[in-house]
C-alpha cells in the first residue's frame, strides 16, 4: 500500500524502513505536519501515517477523503488529535499503536521525579562552571512520601509498581479500577484525596473532554503546599496559566513536563535560532524548579521498534481484511 508518512524525523524513517520487510509498502516520507493545508500531499495515497502533533480535524479529513485516503495510521497511542466522528462520516478508518512500551514512559516519569527532586539539571550545569555549592540543591527522600497517580492504565500501573519499590505511599485514581494495581495492595481514592494528600502527583490518563485542564486553579487550591506535579501524558491535562500562578505563589513546589498544551508549534523542532512567541511557555522555562522536555518519554529503541512494527502490521491487516484489531472505534 502507498503510505504518506507525515511529521517524519530521521528516527521515524530508520525504524519504519527497517520494519517494512521486503518493502511490502511504498512509504513516502514528508517532513510537514498533516493538517488541512498539507493534506493534499497525500493525494492518491490510500493510507497516511501520523504522529502526536498532526492535526486531523474535520477539515483535514475532508481533504484526505476527497484525495482517496481510506486509512489514518497513528504511530502513537493517544488519538486526541483525530476527530473520530468526522473520520467515520468521511469513511476513513483510524488505527493506532495501543501499547508500544509503557515501560519507556513509566521509567521516564521516574527519571523526571528524581531529576527534579534532587535537582540534577541544576547540579550538572553548576559543576561544568566550577560551582560546587550545594545551596538550593536539597531534595527529599521518596521513601515514605505520598504519591498520587491519576490514570492507572498501562503506564500508570508501571509507575505505581516502580514507586512502590521506592517505599512510597500510593494513592491512585481512575474511572476504572485496574486489577493489576489492586493486586499491589494500592488504594483507589477520590480525586480530591489525591489532590489534598499527595506530595507528588503524576498524570497518566488520556486527554478527553473530561480530563481537559484537570489540573486547574481549583485543583491546585486543594493541593499540599510544595507539591510536585509531573505530566508525561498530554499537555492540555494542565492549565498552564493556573500552574504558573501556582508556581509563583509557591503552592506548587516543582513541575516536570514532557508535554505542553501548545507543543505542536514547538516540540520536535530545533528552534534555537528563532524567537519563540509563546509567552506562557517561556514563563514556565524561567522557573528554577521547572523541568521541561520536548515529548521524549516514549523515545527508546524498544518503543520505536514496536511502534514501527505495529504500525506496519496495522496497515497490512487493514489492506488484507479492510479492518484491524487496533481500529479506534468512535
Contact footprint for ligand NAD (CB under 6 A): 77-78, 99, 102, 105, 150-156, 173-176, 204-208, 210-211, 232-234, 258-259, 295, 297-298
CB 143 → ligand NAD: shortest distance, Å?
Answer: 25
**What is the nearest approach in angstroms of ligand NAD to the Cβ of residue 156?**
6
Which residue's CB is nearer to ligand NAD, number 115 or number 233? 233
Q: How many residues does the chain have?
A: 330
Shortest distance (Å) from residue 305 CB to ligand NAD: 15
Residue number, 38 or 160, with CB nearest to ligand NAD: 160
CB nearer to ligand NAD: give 205 or 304. 205
Nearest alpha-carbon partner for 260 in 275, 282, 245, 287: 282
CB of 244 to ligand NAD, least distance (A): 21
Side-chain-facing half-sphere of 286: CA atoms under 13 Å: 9
Beta-bridge partner residues of 231: 203, 257
Closest CB to ligand NAD: residue number: 153
Strand partners, 201: 148, 229
- Using CA atoms, how far residue 246 sits from 215, 253, 287, in Å, is 11, 9, 12
- Phi and psi torsions of 239, nearest 5°: -85, 105
Q: Smallest distance, Å, CB 178 to ligand NAD?
A: 6
Quote the cell numbers at residue 55. Answer: 492535526
Minimum CB separation of residue 98 from ligand NAD in Å reads: 7
Nearest residue (CB) to ligand NAD, 69 versus 81:
81
Q: Which of 150/163 has CB closer to ligand NAD?
A: 150
Q: How far is CA 115 from the centre of its chain?
A: 18
The beta-carbon contacts of 115-124 under 8 Å, at least 24 apart in sequence, are 115/256, 115/291, 116/228, 116/230, 116/254, 116/255, 116/256, 116/289, 116/291, 117/142, 117/228, 117/254, 121/291, 122/288
Residue placing its CB nearer to ligand NAD in the complex, 55 or 232: 232
Q: What DSSP string describes 233-265?
A: S-GGGB-HHHHHHHHHHTSEEEEEES--TTGGG
Stated as kind and residue range, the H or E segment containing 46 is: none
Active-site positions? 234, 263, 295
Amino acid at each position: 500500500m502507498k503510505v504518506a508518512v507525515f511529521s517524519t524525523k530521521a528516527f521515524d524513517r530508520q525504524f519504519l524502513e527497517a520494519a517494512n520487510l521486503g518493502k511490502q509498502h511504498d512509504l513516502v516520507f514528508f517532513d510537514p505536519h498533516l493538517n488541512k493545508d498539507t493534506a493534499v500531499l497525500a493525494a492518491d495515497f490510500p493510507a497516511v501515517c501520523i504522529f502526536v502533533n498532526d492535526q486531523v480535524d474535520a477539515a483535514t479529513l475532508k481533504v484526505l477523503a476527497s484525495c482517496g485516503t481510506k486509512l489514518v495510521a497513528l504511530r502513537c497511542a493517544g488519538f486526541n488529535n483525530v476527530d473520530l466522528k468526522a473520520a467515520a462520516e468521511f469513511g476513513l478508518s483510524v488505527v493506532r499503536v495501543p501499547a508500544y512500551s509503557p515501560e519507556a514512559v513509566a521509567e521516564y516519569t521516574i527519571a523526571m521525579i528524581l531529576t527534579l527532586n534532587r535537582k540534577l539539571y541544576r547540579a550538572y550545569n553548576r559543576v561544568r562552571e566550577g560551582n560546587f555549592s550545594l545551596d538550593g540543591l536539597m531534595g527529599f527522600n521518596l521513601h515514605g512520601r505520598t504519591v498520587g497517580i491519576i490514570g492507572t492504565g498501562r503506564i500508570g500501573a508501571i509507575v505505581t509498581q516502580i514507586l512502590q519499590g521506592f517505599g512510597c505511599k500510593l494513592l491512585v485514581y481512575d474511572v476504572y479500577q485496574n486489577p493489576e494495581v489492586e493486586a499491589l495492595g494500592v488504594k483507589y481514592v477520590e480525586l480530591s484525596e489525591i489532590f489534598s494528600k499527595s506530595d507528588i502527583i503524576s498524570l497518566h490518563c488520556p486527554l478527553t473532554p473530561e480530563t481537559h485542564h484537570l489540573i486547574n486553579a481549583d485543583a491546585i487550591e486543594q493541593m499540599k503546599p510544595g507539591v510536585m506535579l509531573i505530566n508525561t501524558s498530554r499537555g492540555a491535562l494542565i492549565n498552564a496559566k493556573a500552574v504558573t500562578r501556582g508556581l509563583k505563589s509557591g503552592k506548587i513546589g516543582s513541575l516536570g513536563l514532557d508535554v505542553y498544551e501548545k507543543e505542536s508549534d514547538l516540540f520536535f523542532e530545533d528552534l534555537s535560532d528563532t524567537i519563540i512567541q509563546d509567552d506562557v511557555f517561556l514563563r514556565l522555562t524561567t522557573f528554577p524548579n521547572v523541568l521541561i522536555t520536548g515529548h521524549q518519554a516514549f523515545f527508546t529503541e524498544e518503543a520505536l521498534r514496536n511502534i514501527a512494527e505495529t504500525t506496519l502490521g496495522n496497515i497490512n491487516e487493514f489492506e488484507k481484511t479492510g479492518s484491524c484489531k487496533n481500529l479506534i472505534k468512535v
